[in-house]
Amino acid sequence: MNRFGIDLGGTKIEGAVVDSARPDRAVCRLRVPTGGARGYDHVLSQVASLVAMLERESGVKRPAVIGIGTPGVIDPSAGVLKNSNSTCLNGRRVREDLARALGTGVRMANDANCFALAEAMFGAGRDRRVVVGLILGTGCGGGVVVDGQVLDGLHGIAGEWGHNPVCGETTPCYCGRSGCVETVISGPALERFYGKLTGRRRSLPEIAARASRGDRAAGATLRRLRAKFGESIAAVINILDPDAVVIGGGVGNLDLLYADETREAVLRHLFNGEIRTEFLRPTLGDSAGVFGAAMLTASSRSEVRREGSPPARRSR
């Protein structure tokens, strides 16, 4: 059986046809630009065009249900998309409108949830019962997977650690609040911090390289990342106590997040005398979102687990 997964991003839309017998491999994988500046209807038409292209390239007819990962989440009470940085999607009935455009059923989840699901089932978090997947890059998103099932929550916001407050921080966030995790340790936030110290604009990879050469401002920027990440993720671990945290996104490429010093920074805020939670790099790269979207179409939790090889219960 083949599944279709769509990862609807701010700049590109990726689609894949995935064989359920090998859910971590794409039979066909294509991309088109999102074109959000051209409006809501254009984005819908791009998704429809991409699905048609996948059919032609793979020779596989579109299934009865297609999985789609989106920025933002569907408000369970109103049925409209909210919290999307692709603002033309906000307040719209995206799921229903895409179902009409595609002529199929649509199952939809936040893109971070799709990332977390894929990495939990057949990526870095495989064989762990409780997995938190973080996207730490331009923004800070997250998803939670327990026994192969994504947690959505009553309001559809489960896993949104990027909008928890950080002690002592006051930078305004696009969400209307101040001092959110995203305003402190996202890539742009760290670059702004370095810029305030030096008056120079540099990318995060440049900052990391300069820190290794003794640049004091760069070193201070990375120490800030370590300290604030430790505080931020400890709050999540205190509540969920996960087996593993998988860190995607550009900031997640930095080695320091996996170092012993960072684990010590987490432990300082943890309601426990030791930390056994694993901090893992993703193994599926930028494919995780589209594979996770395809897995949304599994008809039951047992089917998801069967296809992804069920996570074993680990002794703690």
**Each residue's pLDDT tens digit, 223-243:** 999 999 999 999 999 999 999
Tell me the pTM: 0.86
**Each residue's pLDDT tens digit, 157-209:** 999 999 999 999 999 998 889 999 999 999 999 999 999 999 999 999 999 99
Domains and CATH numbers, the chain: 2-116+285-308 (3.30.420.40), 127-280 (3.30.420.40)
User: So what's the pLDDT on residue 159?
Assistant: 94
Write the CB contacts of 44 (distance below 8 Å, at least 6 apart in sequence): 97, 98, 101
User: So what's the pLDDT on residue 4?
Assistant: 96
- The sheet with strand 244-248 has its strands ordered as 149-150, 140-146, 130-136, 244-248, 278-280
Q: What is the mean pLDDT of residues 206-216?
A: 97
Q: What is the mean pLDDT of residues 263-267?
A: 98
User: So what's the pLDDT on residue 299?
Assistant: 56
**Each residue's pLDDT tens digit, 293-314:** 999 988 544 454 554 444 444 4
238: number of Cβ within 10 Å:
12
Write the CB contacts of 210 (distance below 8 Å, at least 6 apart in sequence): 202, 218
Q: Give dist(CA 88, CA 35) in Å, integer.
A: 10
